[in-house]
């Protein structure tokens, strides 16, 4: 199933519980591992003496390990006028500490035989390395140092800010669909901080100061707002000792209080059009829908799961409904069509329908055809066999995905960010398996009116107005 284009910098994922910070003088707690299930590799979760979370998943198939640091802070934690600061700060974490010169962190990781990078999303920021398992302590020492001691001269900030601004030009301003989605998010969300782009508005970037980034770092980069995730050929008790040695000595500080930023109820359709150089028009319909907040069988959680199954029925495989109904035959209305559901996140979620009109067809015809397929399910429902097919494909995709150590660590970090248990993947599959055809039909009938709808349309400009493509920004990390 296609992913909703919510951002071009982050990844949309899962996450587990944030442990409360212990006082600096308190003795280290007796760690109690949390095991995902009897049928899966054990996932061990600990709380370090300063409140930082440690998550370890042994996987001994190869002598390698993935090490990540996740922070429950992203673009949604910024304030108006400082959009983009979370992402800029992520870049600055590579620019030195009291012990390391700018760029030396990555050079040392490479010298260990590893690779590294980082990512910023709406809900979180993450830093990761993949290294030979015997070099895990070396990477922990490096990462703990920059977590606690990040520093750089103002001039280094100004140079890196130019790199980020060029990223924005390349990835948003030179990308017609990215420009559409940026405008769409700013229209769909009024109060939610999801309305701000992860990379930041250009005017905010131009006004951003070194002290803005330092203050964001001091505010949010605290142990109790972070989790270390290690997956690979490791021993959990040994990893715990290393984590206490390198991360546990970072002074504990409280996590700043977060104010609620709920989205007011929408009372009618909204519509945006972006005109930009493009080969084809494109359109998307975004409906506000409930998100999964836990695995308890509540009406909201059941609807969120049923909406994900609806998206899979519409766009879960090559022979799914949208592809068959809209993109095939002599009277096809679209070159491509898709659906996706924002199942979970720290902020409000959207269900998306989208499509590229076929030659001679209009965005309005595609919009009507997309909605007609949802209305057909609302009237006629789906068969048990059809629903079972997409459930089977979903399960297979989840299993194959976890062949990657990086994906294993990434999912555990995301479970933590979203305050979900470490076996959230298994629980999700069990809950999805319980969704019935009647539930899918019910959500198709209840969530796709005009009241919660925002429509976005990309209208191509003539080819002679297209700008030449930009080269990638020097030093860009994404």
Q: Catalytic amino acids?
A: 90
Other C-beta atoms within 10 Å of 376: how many? 14
d(CA 38, CA 36) in angstroms, rounded, equals: 7
Structure tokens at 290: 């409930």
d(CA 428, CA 291) in angstroms, rounded, equals: 13
Q: Give the chain's largest Cα–Cα span.
A: 74
Please state at what angle helix 136-149 crosses helix 104-111, rounded to 10 degrees.
170
Nearest to 166 by CA among 109, 223, 91, 98: 91
d(CA 312, CA 341) in angstroms, rounded, equals: 9
- Given strand 270-277, what is the order of strands in its sheet? 270-277, 453-461, 282-289, 349-357, 334-341
Cα angle for residues 322, 326, 330 (degrees, 5° grid): 150
d(CA 169, CA 270) in angstroms, rounded, equals: 27
Contact 168, 179 (CB under 8 A): no
């Amino acid at each position: 199933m296609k992913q909703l284009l919510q951002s071009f910098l982050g990844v949309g994922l899962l996450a587990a519980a944030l442990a409360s910070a212990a006082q600096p003088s308190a003795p280290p707690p007796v760690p109690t591992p949390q095991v995902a299930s009897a049928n899966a590799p054990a996932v061990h979760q600990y709380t370090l003496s300063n409140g930082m979370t440690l998550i370890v998943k042994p996987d001994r198939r190869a002598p390698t390990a993935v090490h990540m640091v996740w922070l429950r802070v992203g673009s949604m934690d910024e304030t108006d006028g400082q959009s983009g600061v979370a992402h800029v700060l992520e870049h600055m974490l590579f620019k030195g500490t009291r012990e390391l010169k700018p760029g030396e962190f990555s050079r040392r990781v490479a010298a260990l035989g590893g690779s590294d990078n980082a990512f910023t999303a709406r809900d979180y920021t993450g830093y990761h390395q993949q290294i030979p398992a015997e070099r895990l302590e070396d990477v922990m020492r490096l990462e703990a140092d920059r977590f606690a001691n990040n520093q750089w001269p103002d001039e280094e900030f100004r140079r890196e800010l130019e790199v980020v601004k060029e990223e924005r030009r390349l990835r948003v301003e030179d990308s017609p669909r990215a420009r559409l989605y940026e405008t769409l998010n700013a229209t769909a969300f009024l109060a939610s901080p999801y309305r701000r782009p992860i990379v930041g508005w250009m005017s905010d970037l131009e006004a951003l100061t070194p002290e803005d980034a330092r203050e964001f770092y001091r505010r949010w980069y605290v142990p109790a707002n972070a989790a270390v995730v290690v997956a690979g050929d490791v021993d959990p008790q040994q990893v715990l000792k290393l984590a206490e040695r390198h991360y546990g000595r970072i002074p504990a500080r409280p996590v700043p209080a977060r104010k609620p930023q709920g989205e007011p109820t929408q009372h009618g359709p909204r519509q945006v059009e972006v005109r930009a150089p493009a080969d084809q028009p494109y359109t998307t319909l975004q409906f506000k829908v409930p998100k999964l907040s836990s695995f308890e069988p509540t009406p909201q959680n059941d609807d969120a799961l049923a909406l994900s199954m609806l998206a899979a029925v519409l766009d879960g495989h090559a022979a799914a409904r949208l592809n068959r109904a809209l993109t095939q035959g002599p009277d096809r209305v679209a070159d491509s069509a898709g659906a996706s559901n924002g199942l979970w996140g720290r902020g409000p979620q959207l269900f998306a329908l989208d499509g590229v009109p076929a030659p001679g067809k209009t965005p309005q015809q595609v919009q009507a055809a997309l909605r007609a397929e949802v209305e057909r399910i609302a009237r006629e429902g789906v068969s048990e066999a059809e629903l079972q097919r997409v459930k089977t494909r979903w399960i297979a995709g989840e299993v194959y995905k976890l062949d990657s150590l990086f994906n294993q660590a990434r999912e555990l970090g995301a479970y933590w960010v979203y305050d979900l248990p470490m076996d959230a993947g298994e629980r999700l599959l069990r809950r999805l398996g319980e969704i019935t055809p009647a539930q899918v039909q019910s959500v198709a009938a209840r969530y796709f009116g005009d009241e919660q709808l925002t429509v976005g349309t990309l209208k191509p400009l003539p080819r002679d107005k297209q700008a030449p493509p930009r080269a990638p920004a020097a030093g860009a990390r994404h």
